[in-house]
Structure 1
Amino acid sequence: MDLRRREFLALAGLGASAVALGGCGVAGAGGAAPRGSLRAAFGQPVTDLDPYNAGTAVDEASLIVKRLVFDTLVRRDAAGRLVPGLAASWRRENDTTWVFRLRSGVRFHDGSPLTARDVVACLDRTKAVKSAQSALWATVKSARADDDTTVTFVTDGPMGTLPVNLTLLFIVPARLVADPAQKRRPIGSGPFRVTGFTPSTDVELARFDGYWAGPARLPGISMPFIAETSSAITALRNGDVDLLWPVPSDQLGEVKGKHGVRVASVPSWTYYLTWFNCGRKPFTDPRVRRAMVQALDMDEIVGKLFGAGAQRMDAPIPSTVFGHAAQPPYAHDPGAARKALRDAGLGDGFETTMMWFDATGPLARELAQSMISAWKDVGVTVRPQSIEKAQWLQRLNTLDWDMELQTNTVTTGDAAFTLGRLYTSKANRMGYKNPALDKILAEAGQAADAGDRARLYADACRIVWDDAVGVFPAALTTAYGLGTGITGFTPAANNQPDLSTVTRRTP
């Protein structure tokens, strides 16, 4: 092993076995991916693989792996259309009844057959575990297995979003829905099976030759987590990594035009947000929240940090997502911000905190520092709290924070996933409660007509924006760095690419 290789391993913080065995092709050793596997590095660590873990139910890094290991009844194709997955077809019989016909002959990684009873057990488990997905399934009253290949879903009212939501219902054997072993070595029916997993370090996958859609082209996938982006880029340029994403806009110059690598980009469904804890003073007062937004020159901050790698947002969801409706931008007006704080009884300013974890997205720390500096100019002192991802998740889910910064991905490409899931009073994700918004979001979730849904989500965008529930700085363009030996890759707007179609040319 030469010096450059040793430096890469040290900087990446990975055990020698994780990369040397998975990346250099010693087949089968220590749970490593097989020889010739794709070496893919995402910018966030994978902490858990259980599809029903409350803390990681919508965690982006975990979802990337889950989509390779598990199947869903419905999925999105490369063009973003809803297409059959495990369900060969479906129909809406009436306002409260949907019938899905499953493919015959599908088997799990352990060889057991996949039936409608497994689907029912997975829905029941998903509904039983309180998580960030819970709001998506609140309207689903029950599911039943009419026979081995027929599942009937019954809702307690009209629910036009069921097919979209089912792109997130991962199917495992019924007997394993609550098995703790699913956290580390789960059984699914997807194109790859897990051969090794060390939380926050690496995931090792091998091709499942019994996959119903035919075997993947890759023998396997090795996914190391490389904490330092500069180290990850060095690994890509050296050939130690075949695929890296997202490449931050300020470091694209280290990848574009370099020998042996290329860049594929897509306007993504991923965006930055800073929520205010609207249930904790002083953010219970919308005047304070609006003042915090007015204090920020978002054109300058986003343009300076991200350049062409992001677009300033004009709604609480990206423009590429169904349900987006542009809103009038908040003008940068520090004077108005100071006056609003005085009117709210905070003429001397106040102190608060903001938490984030650095790996949440490109330039997260720099974005946080830019906002903190601007808030100081209007008398608000924000104490930064850069913490580990696991701690951030725990505090986020228990509302143990004043402000928090994160990237969020509209995984399904539909406003129901973000607006309908996060902003209801029942969800209580950021302490914000608005009965009028609840009514609109309930109607949107029930509507089957796309025009009606778009109109209702436009109303929801306006309310969330006007009430300044958070700051919505930038929608990101995701840049994927690829080795030249990679073919068949399609960049994904949700940061969760389908790697089963990829081919890696080995030297």
Structure 2
Amino acid sequence: MTTTYNRRGFLKISSIGLAGAYLAACSVGGGDQGAAEQALRAAFSQPINDLDPHGPSSVDESTLLAGRLIYDTLIRRDGDKLEPSIATSWEQTDPNTWVFRLRDDVTFHDGSPLTARDVKASLERVRDAGTAQSALWTSVTEVTAEDDHTLRVVTDEPLGTMPVNLTLMFVLPADKMDNDGFFGKPIGSGPFRVERFTPSDVLELSAAEYWNGAPKLARASLPYIPEVSSQITALRTGELSMLWPVPPDQLNQLKGVDGIRMETVPSYAYYFTWFNCGREPFTDPRVRRAMWKAVDIASIVENLFGDGAERMTAPIPSTVFGHAPQQPYPYDPDGAKNDLAEAGLGDGFTTSLMWFSDTGPLADGLAQAMISGWAEVGITVEPQNLEKAEWLRRLNAKEFDMDLQINTVTTGDADFTLGRLYDSEADRMGYRNPDLDEILREAHRDSDQRRRAELYSQACTIVWEDAVGIFPAALISTYGLRSSVRGFEPAPSNQPDLRGVTLAT
């Protein structure tokens, strides 16, 4: 099985030359080659387009990656646990009120103190921004800075997801965040300060005096290299110190290479294929289940992704809080034909599948493999490989039959995906289920984690058995590292903490 990639013509030069050109342009150290060689040069697979953590790119992996390095949050995730960050403690004083106590030793990179006033302004800004992250905060009615280090948040209904949502809410300086040009070189309170930022090109950082321990690295540079083969070449030649995530079909290019090691972690990212449940014939769950039975998901995941993914057993990855394993749909073409016949489609039908190639690794191959499986049971699927802007327009307008894409459960909590996407009011794919709505809303309100886990188990079962979509593969994040990189820990969010990283000489 092969995958076709679209390449820009100007990128069809030698990988070594291209990688060298990008990294020369992105070198750090002000022209001092010795200084530049001591900087960590780490390439993420997606471009960093925006440093505004509350703006249109607020849930993009690349913006979140930058945000973790530049800014702070009240609460942070450490594995399966939520830990204090700027907030030293938090309390739900009544069902609709949360009170947070803040550290008194946090400063922004310009030396000004971070206070509850900055947190208030930041929370109100993200709530009112009208972006993907704003949906987490619609129930917030009042934010009060009671003093410099005490914050009170009032909601119009219980918000049990308040703590986990706050792991995404980056704090900005209240008196500067709305200034023109602020996000060209923003000021945060995180472990690194911005030295230079060119969107979709490079982010250059230097270590800050950080309240939770200054980074061991003096500098870090995050260049964007569009061509996968050039990324691999740059890591192999030592022009990059780190590359992630390494695409599954490129793992063999790095295995056994002297001076390179790979570290892996199951990620929060996964593929799904949504059915437009408001459009015939996908209004009928028998048809949706037939589509799943017609595709040999286990073989596709194994043969296409190899060690780069695992077969999903729920509509969210196993790394996410709220995951509850379900019985996998069998590969059963005869059963699929029977289901179609019962639905009055015994002669098959014609439909379409849309996606964009850069949604994730091997997207083209995954699409073609599923289309081939459907053809075997008499379903003709028109492939629609779109430019991202047109794909996004059609997705938001629900102008699709089926949609293939990657999603990332950014908070590591099921509410971010199940609660945000499958509630009837969200109306993302035409699926409506009042019983599911009540389960998701109760889980959203409840702060008892055991009760929330029970509710999400029920939600996983409903979404799975109703076949709202096909959930084939949860991705394994592979980090390619030069042997000189020490103290690194892979992150399932693709947002690694670089504070403890050092470069051996």
1:169-188 correspondence to structure 2 within 5 Å: 169-179=169-179, 181-188=181-188
Matched, 1:449 2:448: yes
AA in 1 matched with 2:15: F
CA contact (8 A) 1:34 1:206 kept: no
CA contact (8 A) 1:49 1:182 kept: no
Change (3 A) 1:194 1:381: farther
2:405 paired residue number: 406
C-alpha displacement of 1:462: 0.7
Matched, 1:37 2:39: yes
1:325 paired residue number: 324
Change (3 A) 1:485 1:395: farther
**364-373 or 205-214: bigger deviation:** 205-214
1:63 paired residue number: 64
Query: d(CA) in 2 for partners of 1:134 and 1:349?
Result: 42
2:152 paired residue number: 152
Change (3 A) 1:300 1:43: same
Query: d(CA) in 2 for partners of 1:185 and 1:278?
Result: 44
Query: d(CA) in 2 for partners of 1:431 and 1:28?
Result: 57
Matched, 1:100 2:100: yes
Query: d(CA) in 1 for partners of 2:175 and 2:289?
Result: 50
1:454 alignment partner, SS class: helix
1:133 alignment partner, SS class: helix
1:340 paired residue number: 339
1:173-322 correspondence to structure 2 within 5 Å: 173-179=173-179, 181-200=181-200, 202-322=201-321
C-alpha displacement of 1:177: 4.5
AA in 2 matched with 1:434: N
Query: d(CA) in 1 for partners of 2:323 and 2:211?
Result: 36
Query: d(CA) in 1 for partners of 2:111 and 2:394?
Result: 39
CA contact (8 A) 1:441 1:456 kept: yes
Number of aligned positions between the proteins? 492
1:85-124 correspondence to structure 2 within 5 Å: 85-124=85-124
Query: d(CA) in 2 for partners of 1:435 and 1:212?
Result: 47
Change (3 A) 1:339 1:271: same
CA contact (8 A) 1:48 1:62 kept: yes
Change (3 A) 1:401 1:134: farther
C-alpha displacement of 1:440: 0.3
Matched, 1:137 2:141: no
CA RMSD in angstroms comes to 2.5
CA contact (8 A) 2:97 2:155 kept: yes
C-alpha displacement of 1:346: 4.0
Identity %: 57
Q: TM-score, normalised by structure 2?
A: 0.90
Matched, 1:50 2:52: yes
Query: d(CA) in 2 for partners of 1:196 and 1:385?
Result: 38
1:271 alignment partner, SS class: strand
1:3 paired residue number: none
**43-52 or 391-400: bigger deviation:** 391-400
AA in 2 matched with 1:67: R
Query: d(CA) in 2 for partners of 1:276 and 1:134?
Result: 26
Query: d(CA) in 2 for partners of 1:119 and 1:150?
Result: 10
Matched, 1:437 2:436: yes
2:125 paired residue number: 125
2:375 paired residue number: 376
CA contact (8 A) 1:41 1:244 kept: yes
Matched, 1:20 2:24: yes
1:212 alignment partner, SS class: coil
Matched, 1:8 2:15: yes
AA in 1 matched with 2:465: D
Query: d(CA) in 1 for partners of 2:248 and 2:383?
Result: 24
Query: d(CA) in 1 for partners of 2:409 and 2:117?
Result: 29
C-alpha displacement of 1:505: 3.0
Query: d(CA) in 2 for partners of 1:440 and 1:35?
Result: 54
1:359 paired residue number: 358
CA contact (8 A) 1:132 1:421 kept: no
AA in 2 matched with 1:71: D
2:153 alignment partner, SS class: strand
* Structure 1: runs of 5 or more not aligned: 1-5
2:3 paired residue number: none
Query: d(CA) in 2 for partners of 1:379 and 1:418?
Result: 33
1:384-425 deviations in Å (ceiling 9; x for gaps)? 333444554444344343322222222222212221222112
Query: d(CA) in 2 for partners of 1:393 and 1:246?
Result: 23
Query: d(CA) in 1 for partners of 2:276 and 2:48?
Result: 26
Change (3 A) 1:194 1:131: same
